[in-house]
Structure formats: structure tokens, C-alpha cells
Amino acid sequence: MKDVCISENSCQKQSCGLCCTKIKNFGVTLGSTVILDDINLHIHCGELTAIIGPNGAGKSTLIKALLGEIPHTGTLEYVQAQKDTFQAPVMGYVPQNLNLDSTSPTSVLDLFLSCRSSFPAWLIRRKKEVENVKEKLAAVNAQHLIDRRLGALSGGELQRVLLALALDPVPDLLLLDEPVSGIDQNGMEMFYQTVSSLRRDYDLTIILVSHDLDMVRRYADRVVLLNRTVLKAGSPDEVLQSQAFYDTFSLRWQKQNNTGGDKD
Amino acid sequence: MDFWYKLVEILPFEWAKAGQMVFMKNALLAIILLTPIFALLGTMVVNNSMSFFSDALGHGAFTGVAIGGLLGFVQPLSSAVIFSVVFAFLIALIKHKSKMASDTVIGVFSSTAVALGIFLATLGGKNFAKLNTYLIGDILSITPKEISLLAVVLVFVVVFWFLVFNKLLIVSVNSSLAGSRGIYTFWYEVVFSCALAVIVTVSMSWIGLLVLNSFLVLPAASARNIARNQRQYHFLAVAFSIFAGIAGLIMSYYIETATGSTIVIILAIIFFITYGLRKKFA
């Protein structure tokens, strides 16, 4: 695996629309439990693919398997139009949450610096690097958060900061694991707008685990309904109006409409 | 060392006069070298919620000393270092492989190690008392040769901290995030654990197993109360640690107490003061 942290390669890529990511026969088994089975997806770059599914469907597991963190069967192929060779895509990842406790004295700047360079973030802060971090944060409207502690950020702010981090350097494949709760509606809207403009600006392949079906309908190019395996994949309308979707979510919809809250 | 003795003579203390109380001067230098080591490593111990783990390392080191004594080493330190590094690696490995809560894994290892240590040390009706020095510790017994060893360790820790700090920080923020950036999470944890094991073992006979963990945890915990970024966190932890070390040593001389525990009490007072101030800095 290459050390993407140190690389300064953040130049904008030319849009091609021809590179693609193929997920072939993906499966994950933990102990005797089959968590994912026979996942086949073909994703073009410049597309925002949303993964939806009930709790425990294996959405986060799929992301972690794609990252190579969890052992899996099957292959992930990334093909670029200009190059004939297969190469491992540069991954950007926005985790669901952080392991840090909220009192941790880790500022946004600390996190960026420790990812960008090998100079210890507690001792050396080069001006050029700090300016660069400000620019990256500005791209997601978060430049004012640079000196805040990670634990003091709201859910939406943290998500934007982590998004900026995942884009530094610009990845081939951007994997986003959306938190189940804790983000206000405004933050959500801002996040989806940012992600959605990214795919055009950088020609990224974006895979987004989402819990907000309304946002998915408005922003995703393609939707994958997952529950251990791919139940349905296609355009948002195709998937959200399918029988498979109705079978998976009908109870949930009713519950939500009755109580008017608690999406998951 | 002569240079150091000359330097100390400037201090306005009775024991600092030329030709007097060499052991105090040695201890002072040792404290100045030791405390920053503990403060630096302690920042990450607290970041990663590893304070129980570092405590267990001390227990492992103790068993190492007992094994060394049994095998007839004159200086059981080398066997203790080897044993506690193996011990640290095993805990890290089992923590990684099993789904058991990490404090359970650590608890199992820690209590087994202490039991094994006492068992081996008293085997054949031997007296345990000679191992008391490892429990309470005695910084005043440190020799110039050991101080030069400490200086070497300090240099190693600072270099180590330069090389791995950033990676360790990312791992502590989110291990999947670290993985997505090509960092081998598990190996960084192992390297850190082993470094910790070496430091804990080497300094056990001077600081004492019973209070050793406080040297790691308290400076960082105090700094955490009022620091807002990693830079403040590190500098405050090191400053608190050195201050408490020097103040504790000098106080223990005049009120005739064990140095290690006097230092820890001062560290604890600092912790509660910063805890009271934390809202002002939040």
C-alpha cells in the first residue's frame, strides 16, 4: 500500500467519465455468519452511488471491506481510461464517527498536519502547510474551524472537516459512511451539496452509505439497495419505487410517517 | 558528570554544595531526564485510553525481574526488559485477535503476571523483601552509569516520537481512517506498546511499580484539562512533569519521604488544580 498521507498530489484531475470501479463477487464472512454475499457492482466515475439498506445490512462492512480493513472474497478493480494497467485506487474515507473522547486536545489543524507530513504535528507547524490546510477547509466551508478541537465540533462540522481530509490528496474512490444521527437538517443539506459538486469538479467515484432516503432521492445518481446482498441497483427512481425497496422499508416508512421522526 | 556537579553548586541548597550529597545531584539529573520521557509517552497513553495497559506493563516487568533472579542473572534488568516486551506484544496481539473487551484481556494478563512474579520470587521459601525496591523504588540509588543509560533512552524516545507521533495520532482518531491512508494500525500499536514496556521496565527500580503509572498518566491528564491542541498538550505535560519531578525530589529530601510518591502527590495536586480550571480553557 502506498503512503498517501505524504503525497502532495492534489492537482485536479481531468474529467474522463471512462474510468470505472468494478466490485466483483464481494463476500465477507465473520466466524460462521455471512455478512455480505455475492456483491457485484459496476460504478463509473463522476457518479454518486448511494448505498441504502436496513440496520445490520452490511453497509459499513462493505465500506470497510473495500478499504481492505476486513478480509473479503472477490476483487475490487479500478480501471482508468488512459492507463491499461490495473492499479489500486487511492482511497478517501470519511468515517462514521471518531474514537476520540470529546475532551481530547486534538485540533482540526493537528489532524490535517499529521496526515499531510511526517513532521510531528505537536512540534513543527510549517506556515506553508497551515495555509494549505486552510485552503482545503475553505473548500467545504470550514476554514473557521481550523483551531477548534475535534471533540468540540458539531456532527455536521465534523463531517465536513473529515470530508476535506478525505480529499487531501484527491482520491480516485471516495467512500463515505454517514453517521446515523447527530446532524441537523442544514448540515445535511450542505454536506450533500458539497459531495454532489465534488463528483463534477474532481470526477470522483463516490460511494456513500446513507440513512436519509430523501437526500438520496435528490442527490444520488445511482442507488444500491443492500441487505446482505444487492437486492436492487439502478437510478433513484427505479430503486425507490421497486418491490424490493417496498419489502425492505415499508414497515419503516409507516413508522416514520406515524411518529414523524427517528430515521435510521 | 563533573560538569553537572559544578552546575548544581549554583543552587542555594545545603545539599548542592561542592562535594556533598552526590546522590541528590545524581537523582536530580535522573529526574530531569526521566520525567519528559514519561510525559511524552503519557500523552498517547491517555489519548488511546491505555492507562490500564501501561499499569499492566509494570506488572509484566516485575515478573521479568523475578524470572531474571531465578535464572541467576546478576542484573535482572535485561531479562525484565525482554520479558515485558514479549508481554506487551502478547497483550496487543490478543487484544487485536479476540473480540473480548480490552480491559478484560489486560486484566487477565496483569493479574497472571503479578501472581507468577510473586510465585517465582518466593519459590523455595525465599524472602520477598529484597524485591521491595521494585515496588517502592529508590531514585536516590541511581548511579552515574545508569544516568547515562537514561540519557540514551531519552534520545531514543524523542527520535521515536518524531517518527511515529503523527501516525499514532491518526490511529487514535480512527483506525479505519488510518488504514485508508496506508497506515498499518496494528504494528504502530505494537511498536508503541513495546517502547512503553521498555521505559516502564528500565525505570521501575527507581520510581517503583506502585506509583509508576501515575508518572505516565497524571501529567497528560492534567495537560488535557486545559490544552486545546497537541502542541499545548505536549508542552504542558512535559512542563508539569519536570516541575513536579524537581519539586518532589527536593521536598522529599527535607521531609524525608519516598521520592516517587512525593512526586506523584504533587502531580495529583496539579491535576486537581487544572481540573478546576478546565472550564476557563474549554
Phi, psi of A241, deg, nearest 5: -110, 10
**Nearest Cα residue to B213 out of B38, B66, B61:** B38
User: Quick check: B249 and B27 in contact, CB under 8 A?
Assistant: yes
Nearest CA in chain B to A173: B180
Domain with residue B76: its CATH number is 1.10.3470.10
Q: Residue B260 falls within a domain, yes or no?
A: yes
Domain interval for residue B119: 38-281
Q: Residue B22 falls within a domain, yes or no?
A: no
pLDDT of A256 over the 80 cut: no
Q: Residue A257 falls within a domain, yes or no?
A: no
- Among A115, A144, A169, identify where a domain stops: A169
Q: Which of B172, B173, B234 sits opposite A122 (nearest CB)?
A: B234
Angle at B236 between CA B234 and CA B240, to 5 degrees: 120
pLDDT of A263 over the 50 cut: no
Q: Do A99 and B165 touch (CB under 8 A)?
A: no
- Residue A264's pLDDT is 45
User: Quick check: B61 and B80 in contact, CB under 8 A?
Assistant: yes
Q: Which residues of chain A are within 8 Å of residue B173 when distances are taken between CB atoms?
A: 98-100, 106, 111, 150
Taking chain A, what is the end-to-end CA distance rounded to the nearest angstrom?
34
Q: Which residues of chain A are within 8 Å of residue B176 when distances are taken between CB atoms?
A: 64, 67, 69, 93, 95
pLDDT in tens, A99-152: 777 888 999 999 999 988 878 888 878 888 889 899 989 888 888 999 999 988
The reply to whether A145 and A210 lie within a common domain is no
pLDDT in tens, A5-54: 333 333 344 445 567 788 888 888 888 888 888 888 888 878 889 999 88
**Which residue is listed with cell 498518566?**
B217
As for how many domains chain B has, the answer is 1
Which long-range CB contacts under 8 A does B264-268 form with residues at least 24 apart?
Answer: B264/B211, B264/B214, B264/B215, B264/B218, B267/B214, B267/B215, B267/B218, B267/B219, B267/B222, B267/B240, B267/B241, B268/B214, B268/B218
Question: Considering all CA atoms of chain A, what is the largest pairwise distance in Å, rounded to the nearest integer?
Answer: 58
- Residue A9's pLDDT is 38
Task: Give percent of chain A above pLDDT 90.
Answer: 11
Mean pLDDT over all residues of chain B?
87
- Lay out the sheet containing A48-52: strands in order across: A91-94, A173-177, A205-209, A48-52, A222-227, A229-234
Average pLDDT over residues B136-153: 88
Q: Residue A165 falls within a domain, yes or no?
A: yes
The reply to whether A154 and A107 lie within a common domain is yes
Q: Do A122 and B228 touch (CB under 8 A)?
A: no
Q: Residue B266 falls within a domain, yes or no?
A: yes
User: Quick check: B263 and B215 in contact, CB under 8 A?
Assistant: yes
**Nearest Cα residue to B40 out of B215, B194, B279:** B215
- Among A121, A144, A169, identify where a domain stops: A169
The reply to whether A56 and A162 lie within a common domain is no
| CA distance readout (Å), B158 to B39, B99, B200 | 11, 34, 16
Nearest CA in chain A to B168: A114
Domain interval for residue A123: 97-169
Check CB contact of A31 with chain B, cutoff 8 Å.
no
The reply to whether A21 and A86 lie within a common domain is yes
Phi, psi of A231, deg, nearest 5: -85, -35
User: Quick check: B164 and B43 in contact, CB under 8 A?
Assistant: no
Instruction: Using pLDDT thresholds of 50, 70 and 90, give the confidence band for residue A228.
Output: confident
Smallest CA–CA separation between A228 and chain B, in Å? 21
Q: Do A67 and B179 touch (CB under 8 A)?
A: yes
Q: How far apart are CA B81 and CA B65, in angstroms?
A: 9
Q: Which of A2, A121, A165 sits opposite B166 (nearest CB)?
A: A121
Average pLDDT over residues B67-71: 78
Average pLDDT over residues A232-258: 76
pLDDT in tens, A60-84: 889 988 888 888 888 888 877 665 5
Q: Do B176 and A95 touch (CB under 8 A)?
A: yes
The reply to whether A39 and A149 lie within a common domain is no
Q: Do A125 and B233 touch (CB under 8 A)?
A: no
The reply to whether A83 and A192 lie within a common domain is yes
Q: Which residues of chain A are within 8 Å of residue B39 when distances are taken between CB atoms?
A: none
Best to test chain B binding among A1, A90, A112, A114 (most B CBs inside 10 Å):
A114
Q: Is B232 helix (H, G, I), strand (E, B) or coil?
A: helix
Q: Do A122 and B49 touch (CB under 8 A)?
A: no
As for how many domains chain A has, the answer is 2
Domain with residue A33: its CATH number is 3.40.50.300
The reply to whether A21 and A76 lie within a common domain is yes
- Residue A259's pLDDT is 53
Q: Is B106 helix (H, G, I), strand (E, B) or coil?
A: helix
Q: Residue A67 falls within a domain, yes or no?
A: yes
pLDDT of B44 over the 60 cut: yes
The reply to whether A186 and A81 lie within a common domain is yes
The reply to whether A48 and A165 lie within a common domain is no
- Among A111, A138, A169, identify where a domain stops: A169
A 150-169 residues inside an 8 A Cβ radius of B: 150, 152, 162, 165-166
Check CB contact of A68 with chain B, cutoff 8 Å.
yes
The reply to whether A199 and A217 lie within a common domain is yes
Q: Which of B175, B182, B233 sits opposite A105 (nearest CB)?
A: B233
C-alpha cell at A65: 471491506
The reply to whether A58 and A102 lie within a common domain is no
What 8-state DSSP symbol labels residue B128?
A: G
Q: How far apart are CA A163 and CA A178, in angstroms?
A: 11
Average pLDDT over residues B25-51: 91
Q: Residue A23 falls within a domain, yes or no?
A: yes
Q: Which of A95, A105, A117 sits opposite B228 (nearest CB)?
A: A105
The reply to whether A50 and A150 lie within a common domain is no
Q: How far apart are CA A234 and CA A216, in angstroms?
A: 12
Q: Which of B3-17, B49-63, B121-135, B211-225 has the highest mean pLDDT?
A: B211-225
User: Quick check: B79 and B68 in contact, CB under 8 A?
Assistant: yes
- Residue B192's pLDDT is 92
What 8-state DSSP symbol labels residue B164?
A: H
**Which residue numbers of B have CB closer than 8 Å to A's CBs?**
47, 49, 161-163, 165-167, 169-170, 172-177, 179-183, 223-224, 227-234, 282
